[in-house]
Structure 1
């Protein structure tokens, strides 16, 4: 039985490329080869700069990052044809162009090796095709389940484009968590018509990494190590890409020399309370400390958290108390007003006499802008 030969083409912004973009090719090839196909190569085609998408970097940067990301792949290659056009190209024409170029190379397989090698300007053409005949080869569109569902958005796709993509090429769809592509195909008349040309590949190892989340993390100075290739990270840092000029999530300069994100209370190690004490909640009130601190006109006062709710358990009786300031006791004289900020936390320790003391967890408040 003759194997159907396939070239996988994936379109997208790749802003920036992630490990998930590359993994889609790998799991698709595994699945197709189990079905009896022969995958001869993969092609990444980044979208033109004219494509209207927020925060889209220039194709120069995106292609450079893709070159770095694909450096270790021996079968996935970059095609810059789409970026070199005068304007944005519809997906239908991107697939047709690559199919036509592929057919042209295959039709020249009877030419001399020297003539075939002179066609190496088409860098995305698999090396095996440049050296010998592998025809016919079908171009299939590799995409995620969200791309498939976009066919159901009114006015987004022309019917003739969907007919061409599905009828002449076909889809290889990678599932994502929470999606049901089989149900979506069943509920669409046009997708049901071409359901034999839609191959669903289940991604059993869930990975929700996306370029959008990567850009958000970079804007907030969070690490993206192990989410995108190290070479891409180096390129982003070297060229100062995806940096927000005004980041309201970081501390302002007057709150410290080193900005950092406000940690969650769960990020602070908490000492174990006494056996008869159970902490049920940490409650924060943002109010001015007192007249003295108000006169300082300083919104950033290094003081402990205002309130801590503690439950005393004695037999079946549970007594709720709300304690103020630094020392936790039933003595009203020890209670004094203080100011707390979201994100601050304290540590609870027990003294030999049974007193509970709140240790200040953070010395710098979260000054929200």
Structure 2
């Protein structure tokens, strides 16, 4: 059985925080790979629609290209409508019956678990891995594998804001992504 970590998100844009979480979980749980799952339409928040799905995918591919155990899985981009984790895990388990899946969530999502679509069925299909996030509690009645991650306060919304304000985003995301964003004038004020 291969052990696969799953990290979902809009990745709008991906940043060093995403990479740090993926790398820490990979090593802590001794996984075989981490699959990044860019979603089409997140059910719990609005997608920014500032860039295309193709650009988000290109940025994600650039971010992980030098890490052999990172992979992009586009299963959620292949479906229309909200990207419910239950549907994704069901499809992944059908496609890859010999894999054990570990779904990585931040502490903000741990608090939100009772509201997840088909959470009781989902909890039987996948192991949840909760990573710490400042200002959020990690309390839940659901079984969660807790992993401490070095604190790195960065978010995709912070990066988008800084770009629109003309501020530096250096060290918040890989240089290759910064170059891609600049070359394509992404997130700049209109």
How high is the TM-score relative to the length of structure 1? Answer: 0.48
- In the other structure, the counterpart of 1:228 is 173
CA distance in 1, matches of 2:47, 2:85: 19
Q: CA deviation at 1:9?
A: 0.9
Matched, 1:71 2:17: no
**2:33 paired residue number:** 41
Provide closer, same or farther for how the CA distance between residues 235 and 151 of structure 1 changes in structure 2, counting only shifts above 3 A: same
**Structure 2 CA distance, aligned partners of 1:88 and 1:14?**
16
Counterpart position of 1:199: 145
- 1:42 Cα deviation from its structure 2 partner: 0.9
Which ranges in structure 2 are unaligned for 5 or more consecutive residues? none
1:173-203 deviation digits (Å, cap 9, x = unpaired)? 111123331xx21xxxxxx2x42xx100012
> Considering only CA atoms, is the larger Rg found in Structure 1 or Structure 2?
1
2:83 aligns with one of 70, 81, 89: 89
CA contact (8 A) 1:41 1:76 kept: yes
User: Alignment partner of 2:71: what SS?
Assistant: strand
**Equivalent residue in structure 1 for 2:124, among 147, 167, 185:** 167
For 1:236 and 1:17, how far apart are their aligned partners in 2?
11
**SS at the partner of 1:233?**
helix
Contact 1:49–1:59, Cα closer than 8 Å, also in 2:
no
CA contact (8 A) 2:13 2:56 kept: yes
Alignment of 1:261-280 (within 5 A): none
Displacement of 1:149 after TM fit? Answer: 1.4
Q: Residues of 1 paired with 2:42 and 2:54: CA distance?
A: 13
Check conservation: 1:171, 1:199, Cα contact below 8 A. Answer: yes
Please tell me the root mean square deviation across aligned C-alpha atoms, in Å: 1.8
2-structure distance, mates of 1:96, 1:7 = 14
Within the alignment, does 1:157 sit opposite 2:116 as a pair?
yes
Q: Which residue of 1 aligns with 2:187?
A: 242
Which protein is richer in helix relative to its size? 2
If asked which structure has higher relative contact order (CA below 8 Å, sep 6+), I would say 2
How far apart in 2 are the matches of 1:210 and 1:218?
13
TM-score by length of 2: 0.90
Matched, 1:62 2:56: yes
Aligned match of 1:53: 46
Paired with 1:64 and 1:177, the residues of 2 have a C-alpha distance of: 29
* Equivalent pairs, count: 188
Instruction: Pick from 15, 25, 29 the counterpart of residue 26 of structure 2.
Output: 29
Instruction: State yes or no: 1:145 paired with 2:107.
Output: yes
Q: Is the 8 A contact 1:6 1:41 kept in 2?
A: yes
CA distance in 2, matches of 1:145, 1:22: 17
